[in-house]
Amino acid sequence: MKPSKILNSMYVKWTLAFVALLLIAQAMTAAFSFRNIILETSDILADKLVYKATFVISLHQSGHEITEATLAQMGDIDMQLTFLSENTNHYYTDMVSFDMMQRAQRGEIVISHRNEPFHRVPHGFFALDGRLMLISPILPQNELTIFVSGIAHAMALNMILSSVFVSAALIFIISRIRKVTAATREVARGNFNVELFTRNDDEIGELMRNFNTMTRELRQSEYLKKDFVSTVSHEFKTPITAIEGFARLLRNENLTPQQYNEYTEIIIKETARLGGLSTNLLRLSLLDHSGFMPETAPFYLDEQIRGTILLLERAWEEKNISFDIEMEEILYNGNEELLSQVWINILGNAIKFSPHGGSIGVKMADTSGFVTVEITDNGPGIAPQHHDKIFTRFYKASKPGADGNGLGLPIAKRIVELSGGEIGFVSQLGNTTFFVKLPK
């Protein structure tokens, strides 16, 4: 793997980020801890110095002579006592300010600190018969430094172990992300049969499950797309083939007028069928890409349905069909042109499947904030095996080659959905009712 790619790896980035944050946290913790340890140790030592100095002063006040030999005898493994003079090491005299000397001469025990690496060492000053004395702690083998060093080593070991454990956890997390990445590459190549297995309920587990849902929907869409293309190709091929075949027949000069009229009528019919198919495909495409009902305006829904019935008058008069109409006067706000297509498709199917001399019932009422329209015919009904496919594009419950292209009801369904309503049907032998519910 190239160095640039390694540095761009999420594993490397997360590991470096964790180590950096851990170092910062450890440094802040160490600084706080060391400061507290040093301050507490310094305060304890200062208290010991004050106690020892008080003892020496009380001895002096009780009449005991305090000499260098006496001080040597009073010293112990924790501290030592020394008379300060001009010849005393400047390591001590540099710590005594003029103000501190005056305070000591007045009888105070003055504590001064010298800051050293990992140290804050206290020293005490007090006066005996006008002579300045120093009492200072003895730190054998730099015990504070050793203590601090031990803490530092423990924190370093803690950081190393933490880094190892976090790196192992990151490897597990990144491996799962890499599985998703590899799967997405397969999907990008057109392979929608990829599935990711997971038992985890965390965020990555949810991502994997959503990925599986996506691939299933893509597979379904791919199947529908192939079926759609195949069906469209067939629907276009049939009228084109008929037009081509009968156009060739028209080139025969020996045709009778009756044959000529028959062939031209078929060509006109198939051309109209092809035009209707193109119009419906375009309308369905526009509806699919629209997320809302465009250009709504108030209009009387009952008048629109009556106008649609008159528009289809020639079709129902030829079959001597009667209408039973029960409609309230309802002012509805919607897209008049698109909803007109709904009634044309449903009423057109009702007329097409009604027997000669049959009847069609049309009812409309305002119920609970919805406008409900019911259109009933006494045709043969829709067989149960067709019920779940009746709104599928290009699906025709009647025999192949019958009038229509299987797009009327899908278009009506999409328009009703864009209107925020619902469409459905109930059918049995000799009776079919389509209902449309529109929110008012």
**pLDDT tens by residue, 283-333:** 666 666 666 666 788 999 999 999 989 888 888 999 999 999 999 899 999
Rounded mean pLDDT, 120-127: 82
Between CA 282 and CA 271 the distance in angstroms is 17
194-289 topology per CATH = Helix Hairpins (1.10.287)
- Residue intervals of the chain classified under CATH 1.10.287.130 are 194-289
292-439 topology per CATH = Heat Shock Protein 90 (3.30.565)
Band of the pLDDT at 7, cuts 50, 70, 90?
A: very low
- Strand segments, DSSP code E, in 378-430 are 422-428
Helix (H, G, I), strand (E, B) or coil at 394: coil
| pLDDT of 362 | 94
Angle 408-418/336-353 helices, nearest 10 degrees?
Answer: 140
Between CA 394 and CA 37 the distance in angstroms is 84
| pLDDT of 304 | 92
391: left (phi over 0), alpha (psi -120 to 50) or beta: alpha
What are 361's strand-pairing partners?
Answer: 324, 376
The CB-side HSE value for 112 (13 A sphere, CA atoms) comes to: 21
Higher pLDDT, 203 or 182: 182
Contact 357, 323 (CB under 8 A): no
| 68 DSSP 8-state letter | H
- Cβ of 225: how many Cβ atoms within 10 Å? 11
For residue 246, pLDDT beyond 60: yes
Question: Percent of the chain at pLDDT above 90?
Answer: 14
| pLDDT of 141 | 44
| pLDDT of 79 | 73
For residue 118, pLDDT beyond 60: no
| pLDDT of 361 | 94
What are 373's strand-pairing partners?
Answer: 364, 436
Question: Percent of the chain at pLDDT above 70?
Answer: 71
Per-residue burial over 375-412, b if 16 or more Cβ lie within 10 Å, else e, is bbbbbbbbeeeeeeebbbbbebbeeeeeebbbbbbbbb
Rounded mean pLDDT, 14-30: 68
| pLDDT of 227 | 59
Judged by average pLDDT, the poorest of 122-136, 211-225, 407-421 is: 211-225
Band of the pLDDT at 178, cuts 50, 70, 90?
A: confident
| pLDDT of 6 | 44
For residue 272, pLDDT beyond 70: yes
- Residue intervals of the chain classified under CATH 3.30.565.10 are 292-439
Query: Strand 331-334 to strand 297-300: parallel, antiparallel, or no bridges (unpaired)?
Result: antiparallel
Judged by average pLDDT, the poorest of 52-56, 349-353, 379-383, 397-401 is: 397-401
| pLDDT of 290 | 61
CA-wise closest residue to 92 among 113, 68, 77: 113
- Unique residue bearing structure tokens 């709904």: 342
pTM to 2 decimal places:
0.46
Amino acid sitting at position 425: F
Band of the pLDDT at 172, cuts 50, 70, 90?
A: confident
Q: Cα–chain-centroid distance for residue 386?
A: 39
Would you state the structure tokens that stand for residue 15, as one six-digit string?
């590991």
Contacts of 300 (CB under 8 A, 6+ apart): 329, 330, 331, 332
The CB-side HSE value for 249 (13 A sphere, CA atoms) comes to: 18
| pLDDT of 176 | 79
Length of the chain: 440
For residue 384, pLDDT beyond 80: yes
Band of the pLDDT at 110, cuts 50, 70, 90?
A: confident
Going from the C-alpha of 356 to that of each of 61, 95, 359, 362, 379, the distances in angstroms are: 138, 123, 9, 18, 10
Q: What is the maximum alpha-carbon separation in the chain?
A: 159
Higher pLDDT, 93 or 427: 427
Band of the pLDDT at 92, cuts 50, 70, 90?
A: low
For residue 173, pLDDT beyond 80: no
Higher pLDDT, 7 or 274: 274
For residue 235, pLDDT beyond 70: no
Q: Cα–chain-centroid distance for residue 83?
A: 77
- What does pLDDT average to over the chain? 77
| pLDDT of 170 | 72
Helix (H, G, I), strand (E, B) or coil at 254: coil
Among positive and negative, which fits the CA dihedral 375, 379, 381, 382?
Answer: negative
| pLDDT of 410 | 84
- Unique residue bearing structure tokens 């329209």: 373
Rounded mean pLDDT, 64-75: 69
Instruction: Name the range with the highest mean pLDDT among 26-30, 71-75, 209-213, 385-389.
Output: 209-213
For residue 423, pLDDT beyond 60: yes
Between CA 186 and CA 174 the distance in angstroms is 18
| pLDDT of 3 | 46
Judged by average pLDDT, the poorest of 40-54, 132-146, 317-331, 385-399 is: 132-146
